[in-house]
Amino acid sequence: MAEGAQHFLDSFKDPEAVARYTEGPRRFVPGLDGLHRMAGLLLAERVPDDAHILVLGAGGGSEMKAMAEAHPGWRFAGVDPAGPMLDLAAKVMGPNAHRADLVEGYIDDAPMGPFDGATCLLTLHFLDTEERIRTAAEIRARLKPGAPFVAAHGSFPQGAGDRERWLDRYASYAIASGGDPDQVAKGREAVATHVAMLSPEADEEILRAAGFTGVEQFYAAFTWRGWVGYA
């Protein structure tokens, strides 16, 4: 885990923070619902109607809810280190909760599968480069040959002056989306201090280093990027 990322994990275990969680991502991540829809469509290109999907960073349950509603034959293994966030995921999935086996832990705690596909959304940016490669490789090891993997997380230019400019845009979007300016400022500072953001080029190379082929970027929205690759 990146130095300081424990700060965010601790917040995901705080009951008040968990209760407010569903408000946050949509304020900070442009087109979040569309991202979930696209992730499902990219998986559906290659997985069967009764696919078993690994979801790393499943806390909150929004992506599993979207995929379960769009693909009624899919089953999920949802892994997250924060138990309260998995409880929230079960509530968010509602009548589809029985289709997800929820595991508290990290990638090493995930079932071996092999799975038909996998997602990891808004999660990998909490890991440093070495752990990001290892985690992506462990996801690949749990996939059937050629299975799709969809990843999306914070990723933006890191050159001189670039980082501050893009963090300002990150905050501006959240305020324009209804976020409290003081809370957004605290969030911006937390990201700047505790999260090891990389450039899109470095993130794409991590997926290749983990063994994924055919890596393509499919999503770009201010400080966020998304890719699909194949085991």
Separation CA 156–CA 3 (nearest Å): 19
Angle, vertex CA 154, rays to CA 189 and CA 60, nearest 5: 90
133 close to 205: Cβ distance less than 8 angstroms = no
pTM over 0.85: yes
Range of the domain at 134: 6-230
Output the CA torsion sign for 156, 82, 188, 39.
Answer: positive
Q: Report if residue 1 sits inside a domain.
A: no
Q: Report if residue 203 sits inside a domain.
A: yes
Q: Report if residue 89 sits inside a domain.
A: yes
Q: At 131, which amino acid appears?
A: E
Output the CA torsion sign for 15, 16, 22, 27.
Answer: negative
List per-residue pLDDT tens for the chain, 231 residues long: 444 455 555 555 556 555 555 566 888 999 999 999 999 999 999 999 999 999 999 999 999 999 999 999 999 999 999 999 999 999 999 999 999 999 999 999 999 999 999 999 999 999 999 999 999 999 999 999 999 999 999 999 998 889 999 999 999 999 999 999 999 999 899 899 888 899 999 999 999 999 999 999 999 999 999 999 999
What is the CATH number for 154?
3.40.50.150
Q: Which stretches of 94-199 are DSSP H helices? A: 129-141, 162-176, 181-194
Query: How many domains are contained in the chain?
Result: 1
Q: Report if residue 162 sits inside a domain.
A: yes
Beta strands 148-154 and 224-230, pairing class: antiparallel
CB burial string 45-61: b at 16+ within 10 A, e below: eebeeebbbbbbbbbbb
